Structure 1
Amino acid sequence: IRSLNARISTTLIAYCDADYAGDVDTKRSTTGYVFLMYGGPVSWSSGLQPTVAASTVKAEYMSAAQSVKEALWFRKLGGDLELDFGTVLIYCDNQGPIRLLKHPIASQRLKHIDVIHHFARERVARKEVAFAYCGTEDMKADIMTKALAPGKFKKCKSEIGIA
């Protein structure tokens, strides 16, 4: 997609969420994300995290790392198509992981998170992705992580562009 031989600027935003210890048998958390462009979904995922998270913040942190991987893939694809996604904005409904991603600190509580998840901090520092808080009532990725009441389900479905 090329317009007058110039790179096209476009907006790609994402919502990521985790349902802490939602699996009753394994106590693993569910990670979910949805990426939107021009008001419609272009990528989404829902699945159990590979390891048990010891807290809600850790579950959300791992979910954030998964969404960063997807954002980086989109940035690479965009480059190949001469689309400029700029810094991909990812919304999260928990301020703990956002703080950890923006201001990394060494902590006893975080030492058990796999190194693979910490690469997300580097990508935030490089301004390839940015995280922002959105309230739980506006979290569009809820539809990927848990059963919702009918009203919330319809709202999420509508907000991600699914009829």
Structure 2
Amino acid sequence: MQPQLGRERPSIGGPEEAERVLAAFAGTIAELESVLDAETEDLSSGRIRSALSREERKSDLAAGYLRGLELVRANAVALARFAPEAAGRLRHAHRGFRAALERNQAVIATARAVSEGLVKGVADEMARQSRPAGYGVSTPQPATGSPLVYSRRF
């Protein structure tokens, strides 16, 4: 369970507490990485609805990650002194998490670019079809048809 943070910064009192805080934060990182990996796989496979179904869980874990990060940063010296091995494991886990996050962001950027390209292509085709066909040099006419409307729900 992630320790709760109030306005004050809790201090780490001993090795057991340091181990507990680091283990809780590592658990949050592992869960968030798992959700990101599943989302990345779904987006890569075109399963948008499935990827979006994890949004609430991902948001909750991201909030827990930020709280844990604040706690660890505020007590970095004590954590390193009381639990140096657990701190080393956490650093290693965090590197893996950053790599998963970078993969996820790359897939999201690709999906966004593809979807924007599709929408633009549909809009351009609709505008092309609404232009009158005639003889001679064709000059682009402003689109006078109905606007393109799409739903953000999948």
TM-score, length basis structure 2: 0.34
Which structure features the higher share of strand residues? 1
The structure with the largest alpha-carbon Rg is: 2
TM-score, length basis structure 1: 0.33
Which structure features the higher share of helix residues? 2
